[in-house]
Structures are given as C-alpha cells and as structure tokens.
C-alpha cells in the first residue's frame, strides 16, 4: 500500500536517506519522491532539467503502517503521514496509485515522469504523440507551448491538484 509523508519542501532527499538509515528494511518496500523532466530555456538554448513532481511529499510503500509510523517518529526530518483517520492511516486510493504509476514510466527504477512528445498544427491544434500525457487528455487544463509545460489536474489525497509536466515539440504539421 502507498502512503504519503508530508515533509518540508526541499527536504525530500534528506527524509528518504534518513528513512533508509533509521527505519528497518522489513517495514517498507520503497521510499521515493517522484521527479519530472522539464525543458527550460537558458540563454536562448533549451536545456533538459529535473524537478520534483510534488514538492513536500514523499511516498512510501508498506504493509505494516502502524509499526512503520512508530519508527518514522525517530526520523528527524519527518513531519506526518497524510490520511490519518483516528488511529488508522488511510493508504493512497487505488485510482491515485494508478495515475502515479502510469505517469512514471518504470516504477521502481528512477521514479521520473518523462517528457511528453507533442506536435502542433499551423492552426495551433496540439496533438499528444507519446509520454505520460498520452492517455490524460481529459485532465490537461492548459498547454503552454512557449514555456513547454502542460498544466494537468489530478486527484491527489482526495482533492484536485494541478501539476506541471514537461512537453517536447517534435513537429509542426503543415496543412
């Protein structure tokens, strides 16, 4: 089951390292914060960069959440587990796990959302050719071709959240 740790933005790497060092291996399967590839223009040239997909959140998979929580209290940078209902922790809903795994090309590997490839027609019709946006057309709220960003609305922890994903323009279709 996936659980979400809320941490101070910018401390995600430190939390993951502290979890690896302090928490027993048998209490969790993986601990990660997903990244995204983006394109940014520096001095007139497009460069590929890597950014956090959801700053301030770390995902952890576990089947023993109560024991894990007791151990996480020893992690200095740990803040809290989201989704607590009285004394029970509620895992990430299945449909949210699906979109997270769908966006991350190879779960368990580098946990990074790749660029989506798009084409643009002369009359500014954008077609998604490949990548994580391919099956998310209904969730795309805006495509900013100038900044090469797609603004996507997804459910995260039972509320609507806007995330930005990188796009790469591969062709302009002439009519």
Q: Contact 69/81 with Cβ under 8 angstroms?
A: yes
- Which pLDDT belongs to residue 173? 62
- Which pLDDT belongs to residue 174? 64
- Which pLDDT belongs to residue 19? 93
- Which pLDDT belongs to residue 18? 93
Q: Which domains does the chain have, with CATH numbers?
A: 2-173 (3.30.70.940)
Tokens representing 160 are: 């609507």
Q: Tell me the C-alpha distance between 18 and 74, whole Å.
A: 9
Q: Contact 81/4 with Cβ under 8 angstroms?
A: yes
pTM for the full model? 0.85
Q: What is the pLDDT along the chain (175 residues), one digit of tens a residue?
A: 999 999 999 999 999 999 999 998 789 999 999 999 999 989 989 999 999 999 999 999 999 999 999 999 999 888 888 887 767 888 999 988 888 888 886 545 568 888 988 888 877 778 888 888 887 767 888 888 889 999 998 888 878 889 999 999 886 666 5
Residue found under tokens 């084409």: 119
- Which pLDDT belongs to residue 39? 92
- Which pLDDT belongs to residue 105? 64
- Which pLDDT belongs to residue 11? 93
Tokens representing 14 are: 């430190």
């Amino acid at each position: 089951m996936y659980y979400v740790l809320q941490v101070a933005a910018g401390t995600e790497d430190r939390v993951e390292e502290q979890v690896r060092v302090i928490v027993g291996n048998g209490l969790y399967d993986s601990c990660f914060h997903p990244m995204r590839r983006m394109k940014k223009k520096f001095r007139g040239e497009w460069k590929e960069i890597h950014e956090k997909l959801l700053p301030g959140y770390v995902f952890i998979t576990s089947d023993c959440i109560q024991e894990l929580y007791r151990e996480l209290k020893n992690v200095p940078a740990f803040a809290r587990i989201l989704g607590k209902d009285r004394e029970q922790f509620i895992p990430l809903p299945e449909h949210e796990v699906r979109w997270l795994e769908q966006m991350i090309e190879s779960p368990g590997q580098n946990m990074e959302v790749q660029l989506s490839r798009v084409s643009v027609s002369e009359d500014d019709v954008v077609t998604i050719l490949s990548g994580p946006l391919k099956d998310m057309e209904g969730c795309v709220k805006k495509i900013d071709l100038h900044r090469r960003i797609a603004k996507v609305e997804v459910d995260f922890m039972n509320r609507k959240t806007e995330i930005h994903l990188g796009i790469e323009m591969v062709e302009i279709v002439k009519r």
